[in-house]
Structure 1
Amino acid sequence: MNQDYTGSGDPAKSLELLWRRRPQPTRGPKPGLSVEGIVEAALRIADAEGVAGMSMRRVADGLGVGAMTLYRYVPGKGELLDVMLDTVYGELPRRAVDGGWRARLDEVARQNRELYLRHPWMLQVAVSRPPLGPRVMAKYEYELAAVEGTGLTDLEMDATVALVNGYVHGAVRTAVEARQVVQRSGISDKEWWLAHVPHLDRISDARNFPLATRVGTAVGNQFDAPYDADHAFEYGLERLLDGVSALVENRSGPKR
């Protein structure tokens, strides 16, 4: 379970920060400090060590100030986390895509996947209460536009966007975990697989596990590994979009 979550700070103070309505200190030992600079420092720590390694004191140390100085700009970690997430959502390109809703929704999934892979710490933060900042709102607007005009109701549009984002979140979590295994073990998936291959004939039991043996062998031969994150993502995304397609066609007739 995620141990950090957005919306944990004071709502009024968080919104003031997100929309930059919070008055900034005019006096203090570090006049050049800003919310933007604090967020950048926090993001560097989170990208390198995860959210667990990011504390107000760590951020203050990185900026060369005392922790109490930080509180003059940001009330606490909860509000800071809201602004961090809103900030990284601003990295989404929101590219225009030729084609219909399926191409647009496919692009939404890929953009979110790229963002998670750049900032894996986002997977450690629960966002059931999203920070209602300008970049979060822009993201939501862009993603809803992907299915606007398809005949779906407003609730179905929201649920479809949530479905795609939820799929990407789960798929990327598995991909990041697989990448971390390689980094921590120092052994690639191919090396791990090839080290096991010589022993598989001795331990495999095709008579009792015919499907597992046949399918597992096919996967291993194809990817030199028991799992391929890119293939799994592509396959799952296509099947998900097939499901949305069935709903759209039910609402408005064949439409791609």
Structure 2
Amino acid sequence: MKTTIPQALAEAVRHDPAAPLLTWYDDATGDRAELSGATLDNWVSKTANLLVDGIGLGHGDSVALLLPPHWQTAAILLGVSAAGLAADLADLGGDPQPVEALFTTPERVERAAAWTTMDRYATGLLPLAMPLREPPAGYADFVTEVRNHGDHFRGEPVAPADRAFAGPIELSHQDALEGAHERAAQLGFGAGDRVLFDVAVHPDPVDWLLAPLVVGASAVLCAHLDHERLDARTTAEKVSLVLA
């Protein structure tokens, strides 16, 4: 049984590196992005290298994510985990906690000021992973910076008892995966399913990222879901379960 988040991702990639693992739609902008396991793993490795080699974070450090559901959020969260760091899911609520780095969007910069940290990254979550035209003052552009780092991460192994999540609720990797297994059972999907999530209904990455990952499912994430397109999208994406 998988006992760490990096193990869960590695198993998904090994199973079928070319198959779609995470598909993203934003019906407000028309954006669509499809990430295979190999492509997502590449972004995860680059993010982990940014955190470890780029800014020198080490096992046990905390990283705040003030980010909505998005494929880049998935890459950052999994990169944090791969690096042996603890993710503070600040966008889901809770009081500011001490962190060593922070990721957010320009729209959340005012709230992000409550977190004290030296290393701040912003992303516009733009189509085709485009960089920001001008990052907010005091922020580096995540998309620009992460592309400067290696495609493979060779860090210290992550242990099941290491912290996966920080903030109001601290969880080890093993506890987080056990919770993700339980959540998948509650939501009704398992191995081989392709699950469509309305991220307005399921904003927690335990639902839309970790639960599919640990049971061997794939996810179609939809922001600003246009319900008139739902039937056609379900057919086109070979969706087996809609959670909207």
**How would you bin the TM-score normalised by the shorter chain?**
under 0.3
1 or 2, which has the higher strand percentage?
2
Higher Cα Rg, which structure: 1
Q: TM-score, normalised by structure 1?
A: 0.27
TM-score (norm 2): 0.28
